[in-house]
Each structure stands twice: as structure tokens, then as C-alpha cells.
Copies of this chain bind each other. A is one copy, B any other.
Amino acid sequence: MKHLLDMGHLDAMQIHHLLDLTDHMVEINQRPMPKVPALRGKTVVNLFFEDSTRTRTSFDTAARRLSADVMNFAVSSSSVNKGESLRDTIETITAMGVDAFVVRHASSGAPHQITQWTTASIVNAGDGWHQHPTQALLDCYTIRTRLNRTTGFDGLHIAIVGDIKHSRVARSDVQAFNALGARVTLVAPPTLLPPDISTWPVEVSHDLDGLIGSLDVLYLLRMQRERMRDALVPSLREYTTLYGLTPARAARLQEHALVMHPGPMNRGVEMAVDPAELPGSTVLHQVANGVAVRMAVLFELLGSGGEMTADTAADSPDPSQAGPRS
């Protein structure tokens, strides 16, 4: 595995491998000193063309726990449109000696395009409406551990509710949940479904109340206020009435059902209850698992041979580091 661009590139076996590796990272994170030298000497560059403190910090924390060096690039959005300039930027940073770029970009496909211009690994940290693969992996890891589903999601019924059309999270999660064997239902107003929905491996519903009692996982997407301006949703209040997690709906969830959200939440809109009072809420587990999943991805891409052993993790002096004499 050289890059992580798209959940559609990973089959079930590869997903399981990354989730197994995540188990090791969770164990590292629970140590009194949650830091290993596995990627010492490697450099990870956060190249965020869209601001996201949350995702950037998660990758940052993951890289530091593996002892990689991290550099953050503040990219003015104005340079996004200059393809040539972006290429020169990538080639220049690559020449300085970079092992991975973590890329967030407003344009679908930008991380893939960047792979043409560098020898470094690319991790897609969200590109337009297209993909957000580490989000899908952390969501799978959260379901797997909370519902004890190490071997797959056969028989699980997962509903993803909200603005499917503009959501890279939904696209990535549908591919991942489907690959692991889950039944996926999308719940959204027709204006927030993509035109090609009939080709997705999902069922579609507009009736959250009709299926909420049968769900194993209720996945709420962030309802962005911009959608009101675009007249895709009449009002936030009506959205909440039809698609929000209200106390009445929360009461109808199965006892074991999970309530998931990629964050940040719009409290009072899609999340119209306090998740801290829901026993099935995984919101903060998703955040914690996000660090571990990103450690697993960075280690898979940058670690030597992909196998994590005492040698790669032990903080001992490396005899190969004997220095030059001048």
C-alpha cells in the first residue's frame, strides 16, 4: 500500500488488516508513555487547503506518537486554482525530503493528482464531496469494537442520515460498510441525495421513524447551514423534525444500537439530544479511534515492510546512526 486515496480501492481483507493494526495502536495509546519510535526520522507534511483543526490535529497526534516529524503547511486557498503552481509546490516540498503528504482539498481528485508529482505517500484527508477514507476506517473500527464484530458486519443494519449528496463521509462509509457485509440504508430528503444514487449498494428511505427501531447503527451526518441558503432544506427546524435525533426517536433505539457522528455536531439540529446522555453514543470514541486508525495508516504506508515488531517500536539507540567524521 503506497497511498490511501479512496475506500473503493480497499477490499475487506485490506480493511481488516488495517483494523487489526489499529488494535495495536490502541494498545500503545493506553500505555503510560503512548509513544513509539516506529517512524522516527520520517517526515509527514499536513497540506490542508481547507481548514480543519480537528482532522489536522488527529493526524498530527498520530504522527507524533509514532515519532515522525510533522510539518504543517498553511495553504492560502488562492493557490488552489493554479495547477502548475501546486505542482511546483509539491515537487519543492518533496525535494526537501518528505515521506508522506496528508492532503485535504476542496476539489475531488486533488490527492490523486498529487500522486503524479511526488515520490511520497499521499493520505487523502478529505477531497471535496469525494472521499474521506480515514473517517470510514475509524467508523468501521468503532463499530467493530463497540459491537464486537471482529470478523465482519454481516447482519448489521446501518442507517446514514442527512446530507448524503454533499458528503464525502457518506461515500466512504457506504463503501466500507458494504465491503464488510453490512446492510446500509440512506435516509435523506430527495434534494440531499446524489443523482446517481440508484447505482450505490444501498437502500434509500425518507422515513426515519419507520426504521429506527430496527437499526444497529444510526449514523448522523452534519447538517450544514449552507444547505438552507441553497434552498435544499426548507428550515433547520423542519429538518430536525423529520431527520434529527430527537428524544422521542432516541427512546425508540434498540438497547445495543450505536449513535455515530463524524463531528463537529450541530447540537439542536441533527443531534437534538445530548449525546453524553445516550449510552450508545460513540462520538468521543470515534475521535479517540481516529488517532489510532491514522497511526495504523501512517505505519502501513511508511513503516519498513508493514510489520510492527519490537524492533520498530523499541526506543533503543540505533547503531546505524553512527555519524560522519569531518
Give residues in A with beta carbon < 8 Å to B.
20-21, 24, 27-29, 31-38, 40-41, 43, 53-54, 57-58, 60-61, 64, 69, 71, 73-74, 84-85, 88, 91-97, 263-265, 267, 284-285, 287-288, 290-291, 304, 307-318, 320-326
Contact = CB atoms under 8 A, between A and B. Distances in A.
A291 B322 contact: no
A227 B285 CA distance: 47
A88 B57 contact: no
A53 B75 CA distance: 10
Given A54-B92, A314-B317, A309 B284 contact: no
B267 A323 contact: no
Contact of A20 (B93, B314, B326): B326
Contact of A317 (B38, B316, B321): B316
9 contacts: A58-B96, A64-B69, A96-B291, A307-B326, A308-B323, A309-B325, A310-B325, A312-B323, A313-B322
A226 to B, nearest CB: 17
Nearest to A69: B64
Given A36-B321, A314-B323, A284 B71 contact: no
Nearest to A276: B91
A96 B324 contact: no
Contacts of A28: 323-324
B265 A27 contact: no
B91 A284 contact: yes
Contacts of A29: 97
B321 A313 contact: yes
A38 B322 CA distance: 11
Contacts of A74: 53
